[in-house]
Amino acid sequence: MPKSKNLGPYKKRKIDPLGMKGGMKAADLVDGYFLAYNSARLKEAAQLLVNKVLEPDVTVGVSLSGALTPAGLGAGVLIPMVKAGFIDYIVSTGANLYHDIHFGIGYDLFESSPFVDDVDLRDRKLIRIYDIVFDQDVLLDSDAYVRTVCRQPEFQKEMGTTELHWRLGKYVAATEKKLKLKERSLLAACYRADVPIFTPAPGDGTIGMNVAAAALTGSALKLDMNRDIFESAAYVYDAKKSGGKSAVLILGGGTPKNYMLQTEPFIQEILYVNERGHDYFIQITDARADTGGLSGATPNEAVTWGKVDPEQLPDSIVCYTDSTIAAPLLAQYMLTRHKPRKLKRLYRRREEVVAMLMKAGSKQAKRIFGVEKRMQGR
């Protein structure tokens, strides 16, 4: 039998899978048959999550872009991860949270086809998200629900988006209970688990539009972006300062990806507080790096910005595939291969961690401001 040449560090394991059998677990499928190309990257991501990222001292942030909740990933994938303690905070587009509300207040979305007559859909007052359809009333009633909630007394102040989503999740959780629905809303699940949810661009989404509309009838609710910037960075700073690590799982790209990663440049380059970058970086994306967009930017490039610790690049993985394919497989792998973690309940600690970062940043800011002022005087 011929022998292979000495492949040294380039050899991992022989590609010689057994023939598939029925009834296999998804985790066994990933370990045994995802052997090359993006399937191998997905396997590496799954194994990194289980072997390192889900250690108790790691704070895990997950970013969501693309229409994931309308596709059922909220209830089917993300809520089980939240309940298992695998997600400590979330950065999401406003759209994902708005569409999540539909499920929590009793509405349904349906599988369809992308090859339909959109003019006919419009005439029927039906909405399409690629191959998902639902009645226009789902939007109208969800809008009314958000505006009604935003007019409640506890919302009549300025707050960050994590507080907005936590309080909104409280109402959605109560509506779920009233309607006897079982864990359909990610907002409600995050309220119950005290998982903070950030939306970097709240005006670019229907929740934000309804917050604005509620002001026409007397609502005093305003969103504080300064608060969000400090709070998002504070969770990362707290994780690292306490001797732990920080991990990011990025589903898609866009503004949520940037917002999750900009926490490190904010700490290091804006506040001048000593830090080195996120420890673990996993991204599921269909965006190319060569177009220059942030969605396709690699972890190597992120190192130059201080977003990723250069010493941790071996623990940085990009898998080029659809999040609706990868996320269920990753979640099932984690739920199969790792026991649940104790909930960190970061939302309860937000005041504490923000104060700690602001104190550290304030000392440096005063020093830097003095230097800048002297330079301007020359």
Cβ neighbours around 290 below 10 Å, total: 6
Asked if the structure places residue 26 within a domain, the reply is no
Burial of 153 (0-12, 13-18, 19+ CB in 10 A): exposed
The values of phi and psi at residue 8, to 5°, are: 55, -135
Which residues does residue 283 pair with via DSSP β-bridges, in sequence order?
Answer: 250, 318
Q: What is the CATH number of the domain that holds 52?
A: 3.40.910.10
CA distances 130 to 67, 69, 110, 117, Å, are 10, 13, 11, 12
For the segment 36-59, the average pLDDT, to the nearest whole number, is: 97
- Residue 376, classed as helix, strand or coil, is helix
How many Å apart are CA 84 and CA 5, to the nearest integer?
45
Residue 378 has pLDDT above 60, yes or no: no
Which tokens hold the place of 324? 């609706």
Instruction: Name the packing angle between helices 136-150 and 94-104 (round to 10°).
Output: 100
How many Å apart are CA 222 and CA 219, to the nearest integer?
9
Residue 78 has pLDDT above 80, yes or no: yes
Asked if the structure places residue 14 within a domain, the reply is no
Banded pLDDT at 39 (limits 50, 70, 90)? very high
- Residue 257, classed as helix, strand or coil, is helix
How many Å apart are CA 95 and CA 155, to the nearest integer?
20
Q: Which long-range contacts (CB under 8 A, 24 or more apart) does 25-29 make?
A: 25/332, 25/336, 26/328, 26/329, 26/332, 26/333, 26/336, 27/332, 27/333, 27/336, 27/337
Instruction: Using the CB atoms, write b or e for 339-372: b if 16+ within 10 Å.
Output: eebebbebbebbeebbebbeebbeeeeeeeeeee
Residue 2 has pLDDT above 80, yes or no: no
Banded pLDDT at 91 (limits 50, 70, 90)? very high
Banded pLDDT at 365 (limits 50, 70, 90)? confident
Asked if the structure places residue 44 within a domain, the reply is yes
Contact assessment for residue 58 and residue 244, using Cβ atoms and an 8 Å cutoff? yes
Q: Report the percent of the chain where pLDDT is more than 90.
A: 81
For position 328, what pLDDT does the model report? 97
The values of phi and psi at residue 247, to 5°, are: -125, 145
Domain extent at residue 279: 38-372
Banded pLDDT at 11 (limits 50, 70, 90)? confident
Contact assessment for residue 159 and residue 228, using Cβ atoms and an 8 Å cutoff? no
Determine the number of helices (DSSP H) and then strands (DSSP E) in the chain. Answer: 16, 11
Asked if the structure places residue 143 within a domain, the reply is yes
Q: What is the pLDDT of residues 302-328, one digit of tens each?
A: 888 888 888 888 889 999 999 999 999
Number of domains in the chain: 1
Q: What is the pLDDT of residues 196-244, one digit of tens each?
A: 999 999 999 999 999 999 999 999 999 999 999 999 999 999 999 999 9
Residue 4 has pLDDT above 80, yes or no: no
DSSP-assigned letter for residue 322? -
Query: Residues 6 or more apart from 371 whose CB is under 8 A from it?
Result: none
Residue 233's nearest CA partner among 191, 189, 281, 200 is: 200
For position 181, what pLDDT does the model report? 97
Asked if the structure places residue 96 within a domain, the reply is yes
How many Å apart are CA 347 and CA 356, to the nearest integer?
15
Asked if the structure places residue 116 within a domain, the reply is yes
Q: Residue 296: CA atoms inside 13 Å, Cβ hemisphere, count?
A: 9
Asked if the structure places residue 309 within a domain, the reply is yes
Burial of 243 (0-12, 13-18, 19+ CB in 10 A): exposed
For the segment 99-114, the average pLDDT, to the nearest whole number, is: 97
How many Å apart are CA 245 and CA 309, to the nearest integer?
11
Contact assessment for residue 62 and residue 193, using Cβ atoms and an 8 Å cutoff? no
Farthest CA pair distance, the chain: 82
Global pTM exceeds 0.85 = yes
Asked if the structure places residue 16 within a domain, the reply is no
Element (H, E) at 241: helix 225-241
Residue 166 has pLDDT above 60, yes or no: yes
For position 173, what pLDDT does the model report? 98
Residue 368 has pLDDT above 80, yes or no: no
